[in-house]
Chains A and B, each alone.
Chain A
């Protein structure tokens, strides 16, 4: 028995098996029951098989169109995939430590990467990237098969408590809170939204424990006391029984997030559309299961699976888009044209055996280079191939085309010219039902500032908040020295969002908000208060967003938002929001 002291932020006394989430890697570690180890190993092996198929396919496509010499670069990735030190080691970790496969892959990667770093050879240092690519692909395929973080809980037998370094909204939103009795986190500051969330969900919470996520082994029995701020590892039987008995009382009859279909309304009746972000047509089923009212963002570059974009032919693309549209119809599918950087195109041409790059999961094309629409305009043949495929797929249902990384109205005009050309090239039989809507991703500050101009020449806006915040605040989120300056509640960000919405409203075009902010239990109500009514997010986050919307009073949030927009610092905004959201019972669950 070991006792840690933190700050209780949501009352109750609960005990459960520890589920340990480390935010750094976006990978969750959780214990696997002895009987399930074989299943976990089988999932790992299937993922390897699937990854091998993907890599072979890319290799063969390249061999066909670019020559054998170039295709051989993927042979090295295939070798890494079968390397006993990577997936083989991961299997051993699963078996020995009885943890989930995804975590084991991450661990195996860390082990090898560490040895690599010890060798003072710049060439080997570069090879780390290839290792990460392969490990990323294997993890992605494990995740793809299992359908996201919510599925983790199917393997847990006992009720659990979540132990994390910090709880980012993107993780919070994807967890199954019906199975979690409470949580404990290392982080103590910036807990405004986790505290609100805990109370909203009626789960016990203690924060500010500093190193709890490293001290508690996954699967350990943990007691969390949200009133005293105590966290007890391996509590003795008497203490545990007492908490077990108290648990049902502490957990009030809160409505928990569940996946449901159909439109969702705020408590005061404002209709909110919740859409899903996907990466492949295979993801549509998960989006529908989560109750998505459409696809708000289809990231088409994932179709390339790391290969050069001229490898995805028109017919192949058309088939893929058509599948998504047909499955989703009559709901809309918004497909973003390739958001890749030209460097990604050039990289496989580098004469090095292991230099082909895989898109890291969830990461965007890069920084402020030749990417998005800039790439499309610089490579019209590739761009028009995609546009023709999109136009043909639009005959099967409501497809919308979204141009990424637009920074001026000239970008939109040029893209529209190419769209018209693509339409002309198809000839009359290609299209039934007219030209699809073409919208602009608002993710560059210059586009946000000129929103009302852009709105005149475009059919809809999708705000890419992750990038917009990053570029507005000049913060590279991957740079640890400044990543804490990435702040969605910065007054500049909020004012910019307001300006974009005004531009859209003035011209009568729809605007949706995309990115992590849409999954944040505090930011989502605030954005509803700002007048946004359409949000798109990862399918796993939809049930949580639905819950949050239903608990939100839009009129009250509008008042709160108006006040927030007059405040000068992030701290002031946070404090005000915490108090407003918590005490003015924007959530029922917050009223205690």
Chain B
């Protein structure tokens, strides 16, 4: 299992669109994915879970993955969050 901390950078935080993008990407990986904010740990493939983290701009999240493609998963998801979810374009 590998984990990486990221900071939410986009204006709106992890709101519906961003959460949807995150989950779309997460479900492309086989690994089990978890996202932690402080003591809250959520399933990275659950849009409800991600929404319930209520992560606003500046929040630190820890993305962890466990499985065959864990390396790629964490890297891709971390990149997505740190890029500010490429807000403005939505092509789920």
Could you tell me which A residues sit within 8 Å of B by CB distance?
A: 68-69, 72, 75-76, 79-80, 83-86, 112, 115-116, 119, 121, 123-124, 127, 131, 352-354
Contact = CB atoms under 8 A, between A and B. Distances in A.
Contacts of A354: 16
B46 A85 contact: yes
Interface residues of B, number: 18
B58 to A, nearest CB: 15
Contacts of B23: 79
B48 A131 contact: yes
A127 B92 CA distance: 19
B49 interface: yes
Given A83-B47, A84-B45, 20 more contacts: A69-B90, A72-B91, A75-B20, A76-B20, A76-B47, A79-B23, A80-B47, A80-B48, A83-B46, A83-B49, A84-B46, A85-B43, A115-B52, A116-B52, A119-B52, A124-B51, A127-B16, A352-B16, A353-B90, A354-B16
A85 B90 CA distance: 24
B15 interface: yes
A72 B16 contact: no
Contact of A79 (B24, B54, B90, B91): B24
Contacts of B51: 124, 127
A131 B46 CA distance: 13
B73 to A, nearest CB: 17
B48 A86 contact: yes
B49 A79 contact: no
B9 interface: no
Nearest to B23: A79
A84 B16 CA distance: 17
Contacts of A112: 48
Contacts of A84: 43, 45-46, 49
B80 to A, nearest CB: 15
Contacts of A119: 52, 54
Contacts of A80: 47-48
Contacts of B36: none
Contacts of A353: 15-17, 20, 90
18 contacts: A69-B90, A75-B92, A76-B16, A79-B20, A80-B47, A80-B48, A83-B47, A84-B45, A85-B43, A85-B48, A112-B48, A119-B54, A121-B54, A127-B51, A352-B16, A353-B15, A353-B16, A354-B16
Contacts of B48: 80, 83, 85-86, 112, 131
A85 B20 contact: no
A116 B23 CA distance: 18
A124 to B, nearest CB: 6
Nearest to B56: A121
Interface in B21-73: 23-24, 43, 45-49, 51-52, 54
Contacts of B54: 119, 121, 124
Contacts of A72: 90-92
Contacts of B17: 76, 353
Contacts of A86: 48
Contacts of A75: 20, 24, 92
Of B47, B52, B54, B90, most buried by chain A (CB within 10 Å of CB) is B47
Contacts of B45: 84
